[in-house]
A and B are shown apart, each in its own frame.
Chain A
Amino acid sequence: MGILEWLSEPFAYPFMIRAALAASAVGALCAVIGSFVVLRGMAFIGDAIAHSILPGLAAGFLTAGRGDRRILFWWALGTAIVVGLTVGWISQRNRVREDTAIGIVFAGMFALGIAMISTSRGFAVDLVHFLFGNVLGVSVSDLWLIVGFGLGAILLVLLFYKEFVLVSFDPTFAKTLRLPTAFYQYLLIVLISVTVVVSLQTVGIGLMLAMLVVPASTAFLLTKRLPAMIALGAVLGALSGVIGLYLSYYWGVASGAAVVLVSIAFFLIALLYTSWQRSLPRRRPTSFPAP
């Protein structure tokens, strides 16, 4: 089998084309939003939002039945935004340590979701879909939701780019410029929530954090400026999506896991490369007189 055949064979199936589009769009979107997650140290919040969606999904599932999957999207979105804003609100007060508070919300909501789903029949199958995603089952309308919400999120990032950068880099200075820093903080959390929900079908709840954090961190290692970091992260995220699908097609690996493993491979390569570069002897500056 030639290399071209090998590459094109999976795309004889329309569901594979849809899956590839979804995986690459999600990979890119997660990296763009994930860049801010990485820089602001919000990884735990992202993970908490992802896991807290479960009771929302369960509620949608129990009320609508498994016939209409579209309704689940809106349940998930609503839950994610509410949980995100709550967590954001908690982290601005300091009654409890922030990570403790997030941990409580995270575990509590996740347990509630499992409890709700366990009351229905076919418990294990549905739970597995939510936890690990099912990118091969993406429909055309799912794809539209991903593209629509993804573009919306990216547009907002572009619109408020300078403010997001300032609020992430030096929030105190942002306050002294009298910018509404809390607004940008909450907006960022809403964008993370949207990203998590849109990506749900590709990687599932369990591996969401990896998509938010890994491609962006890889790009962080390799770049010096934020625009470059975001762009490279998006490319790496999209590539991980497509390459992961190939692995999934030819070796029968679960698609979400394959995508995440590819992105982690990229990260490890970048890590090795940068440590190798650092170990090289520094060139002597030209102005330095030779001994």
Chain B
Amino acid sequence: MRDRSLQAVLNRHRGRTYARHAEDAPAVAVESVAVRYGDDVALENVSFRVEVGERLAVVGPNGAGKSTLLRVLVGLQDPTGGAVHVHGHGPSRHVCISYTPQKSTIDWRFPVTVSDVVRMGRIARRGPARRMTRQGRSLVQQALRAVALEPLAHRQISELSGGQQQRMFIARALAQEAEILLMDEPFTGLDVNAREDVLQQIVRLHERDVTCLVALHDLAIASTSFDKVLLLRRQQIGFGAPSEVFSEARLRRAYGECLRLAEADGGLVFLHDTACTGGSNGHP
């Protein structure tokens, strides 16, 4: 899918070529990736593939390397071992990957409006004289409409609720024409309704063939709303469909001996055994 817009042609001319997507390559292919800081291992032996349009939940205890993995996938950080391919190329040659950092890294008092933030998604694809093209403006409008934030477009970002803030970032990814969306703990601090709301948006992205990789803590959401699950604790403990990955043995390897798994109404229930004292607490 080669971008034939004028800006893309100009960019190629200036040597800022963005990688062409290989047709039959998976959206994301990770081969024995490792990240080490000196002797410290942050990630090791991670290998998985995500097909175009799939939803992957990345789960694991705090410090398991979820954020590190996302940073490697978007090309913010190079792995110290192994290889990452996004649509057949190294991640740093793409502008089709949208990355939403943890909420706490954003300064919400920053004097920008919702529409300002969504427009930021267009910066890499501006037209001649670095102005936004008409197509870009209509994409921004469509993105705001898609996440139902049009009425709040001119609000300062701190006036949004937690769920609306996550939807704003999804709109920014839509305006960016992102084909891969990476989100780092989008559900943290959201109530049940807001969580459902964001999940619905992720389902819609799936309909648009956007591949979603989401780091999260809630195993129940991971097992019900995602096609595949990657269970991490510095190493890859499991990868596959949620029902295959979430076995009690694997979960204990990830979270320690106190985790119990129960089945109810065809779904999985994750319990912490308060009477349990043995095993690690999940912090390696």
Contact = CB atoms under 8 A, between A and B. Distances in A.
A277 interface: no
B123 A162 contact: yes
A158 to B, nearest CB: 11
A33 to B, nearest CB: 16
A166 B123 contact: yes
B106 interface: yes
A177 B96 CA distance: 8
Contacts of A169: 106-107, 110, 112, 117, 120
Interface in B15-41: 16, 18
Interface stretch (A16-24, A129-137, A203-211, A221-229): A221-229
Nearest to B110: A169
A224 B76 CA distance: 31
Interface stretch (B97-105, B138-146, B199-207, B255-263): B97-105
B121 to A, nearest CB: 8
B165 to A, nearest CB: 13
B73 to A, nearest CB: 10
Contact of A225 (B74, B97, B105, B111): B111
A168 B112 CA distance: 11
A9 to B, nearest CB: 40
Contacts of A224: 111, 113, 156
A68 interface: no
A173 interface: yes
Contacts of B130: 162
Q: Is the interface of A mostly helix, strand, loop or mixed?
A: helix
Point out which of B18, B95, B112, B117 has the most chain A C-beta atoms below 10 A from its C-beta: B112
Contacts of B93: 178
Contact of B97 (A166, A176, A179): A176
Q: Is the interface of B mostly helix, strand, loop or mixed?
A: mixed
A176 B184 CA distance: 14
B124 A225 contact: no
B161 to A, nearest CB: 14
A226 B123 contact: no
Nearest to A165: B112
Contact of A173 (B75, B116, B120): B120
A170 interface: yes
Interface string A186-226: 00000000000000000000000000000000001001111
Contacts of B110: 39, 168-169
B108 to A, nearest CB: 10
Nearest to B91: A176
Interface string B112-140: 11001100100110000010000000000
Point out which of A173, A174, A177, A229 has the most chain B C-beta atoms below 10 A from its C-beta: A173
B92 interface: yes
B63 to A, nearest CB: 19
Nearest to A228: B111
Contacts of B74: 176
Contacts of A172: 76, 99, 101, 105
Given A166-B123, A178-B92, A225 B113 contact: yes
Contact of A176 (B16, B98, B111, B116): B98
A61 to B, nearest CB: 41
A226 B112 contact: yes
Nearest to A168: B110
Contacts of B92: 178
A166 B156 contact: no
A230 to B, nearest CB: 9
30 contacts: A39-B111, A162-B120, A162-B130, A163-B123, A165-B112, A165-B116, A169-B110, A169-B112, A169-B117, A169-B120, A170-B101, A170-B120, A172-B101, A173-B172, A176-B74, A176-B75, A176-B95, A176-B97, A176-B99, A177-B95, A177-B124, A177-B176, A178-B18, A178-B93, A178-B95, A178-B124, A179-B123, A225-B113, A225-B116, A226-B116
Interface of B: 16, 18, 74-76, 92-93, 95, 97-99, 101, 105-107, 110-113, 116-117, 120, 123-124, 130, 156, 172, 176
Query: 9 closest A-B pairs (Cβ-Cβ)?
Result: A177-B124, A224-B156, A176-B99, A226-B111, A176-B74, A166-B120, A229-B111, A169-B110, A172-B101
Interface of A: 39, 162-163, 165-166, 168-170, 172-179, 220, 223-226, 228-229
